[in-house]
């Protein structure tokens, strides 16, 4: 299955993306990157390919334009990232090929905060959220308003982020679960770590 290159206009900025739609797919997972990463993230691409094999459509896209990628302030501007995501979701809803699909969000690092902020908005129609090594604490004010079932996946050796996720989980009022991958670091580089993330994500979505 080949990914289709797309250009998405969101909040006045053109964002490059890759849309993959397996035959008979009824669910779409949108990857929300963080910490300056983008659609070429090798870790998220591996998870996306696993989702494609399981029958899910996926969208990988850049939250920031090329000129913005070096600005650390933009990487941590959660309202900005969430507004870009909202524009992308509107773009998807207007497409004939995927517009009727149930949408899930897969967020990593600061992208998880943006995903949860978007999912907390009134009228948001997000089927589920998965956070991989995310920073949900950066969306703390929005967490009690999230209604989509939310899975937080954290590496067992990612001590600081694990504690931040535990605190964030206490703020969620929706169905939620915290999964710790033993021996995994923040980047899930150990043997089998990303595979474990993929299995948990497929089950949750």
**How many whole angstroms separate alpha carbon 158 and alpha carbon 181?**
10
- Region 121-128: mean pLDDT is 94
pLDDT tops 90 at residue 178 = yes
Cβ pair 52, 20 in contact under 8 A: yes
Query: Each residue of 49-92: pLDDT tens digit?
Result: 999 999 999 999 998 877 676 666 667 889 999 999 999 999 99
Kindly report which listed range (65-74, 114-123, 157-166) carries the lowest average pLDDT score.
Answer: 65-74
At 144 the pLDDT is 98
At 3 the pLDDT is 77
Q: Which residues contact 203 (CB under 8 A, 6 or more apart)?
A: none
At 191 the pLDDT is 87
Kindly compute the dihedral angle of the four CA atoms of residues 197, 61, 34, 73, in this order, to the nearest 10 degrees. Answer: 180
At 34 the pLDDT is 76
Query: Cα dist. 196→112, 151, 153, 155 in Å?
Result: 18, 13, 9, 10
Q: Which stretches does DSSP call E strand in 41-112? A: 57-61, 102-108
pLDDT tops 90 at residue 35 = no
Q: Which residues contact 181 (CB under 8 A, 6 or more apart)?
A: 153, 154, 155, 156, 188, 193, 196, 197
**How many whole angstroms separate alpha carbon 153 and alpha carbon 76?**
20
Query: Each residue of 82-116: pLDDT tens digit?
Result: 999 999 999 999 999 999 999 999 999 999 999 99
At 56 the pLDDT is 98
More confident position, 151 or 191: 151
Cβ pair 109, 98 in contact under 8 A: no
Kindly compute the dihedral angle of the four CA atoms of residues 104, 107, 111, 113, in this order, to the nearest 10 degrees. Answer: 80
Percent of the chain at pLDDT exceeding 90: 80
**How many whole angstroms separate alpha carbon 110 and alpha carbon 107?**
8
Q: Which residues contact 123 (CB under 8 A, 6 or more apart)?
A: none
More confident position, 162 or 77: 162
Query: Cα dist. 189→15, 36, 42, 124, 184 in Å?
Result: 28, 18, 11, 33, 7
Quickly count helices (H) and strands (E) in the chain. Answer: 6, 8
Work out the mean pLDDT of the chain and round it to a whole number: 92
CB atoms within 10 A of CB 45: 16
Kindly compute the dihedral angle of the four CA atoms of residues 187, 189, 193, 195, in this order, to the nearest 10 degrees. Answer: 100
């Amino acid at each position: 299955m080949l990914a289709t290159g797309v250009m998405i206009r969101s909040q006045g900025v053109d964002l490059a993306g890759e849309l993959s739609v397996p035959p008979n797919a009824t669910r779409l997972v949108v990857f929300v990157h963080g910490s300056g990463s983008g659609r070429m993230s090798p870790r998220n691409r591996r998870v996306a390919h696993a989702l494609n094999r399981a029958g899910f459509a996926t969208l990988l896209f850049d939250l920031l334009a090329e000129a913005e990628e070096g600005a650390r302030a933009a990487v941590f501007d959660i309202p900005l990232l969430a507004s870009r995501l909202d524009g992308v979701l509107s773009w998807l809803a207007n497409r004939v090929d995927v517009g009727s699909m149930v949408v899930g969000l897969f967020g990593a690092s600061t992208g998880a905060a943006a995903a949860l902020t978007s999912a907390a908005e009134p009228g948001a129609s997000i089927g589920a959220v998965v956070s991989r090594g995310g920073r949900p604490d950066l969306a703390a004010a929005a967490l009690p308003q999230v209604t989509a079932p939310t899975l937080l996946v954290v590496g067992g050796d990612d001590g600081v982020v694990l504690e931040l996720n535990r605190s964030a989980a206490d703020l969620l009022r929706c169905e939620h679960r915290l999964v710790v991958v033993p021996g995994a670091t923040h980047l899930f580089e150990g043997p089998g770590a990303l595979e474990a993330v993929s299995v948990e994500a497929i089950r949750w979505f």
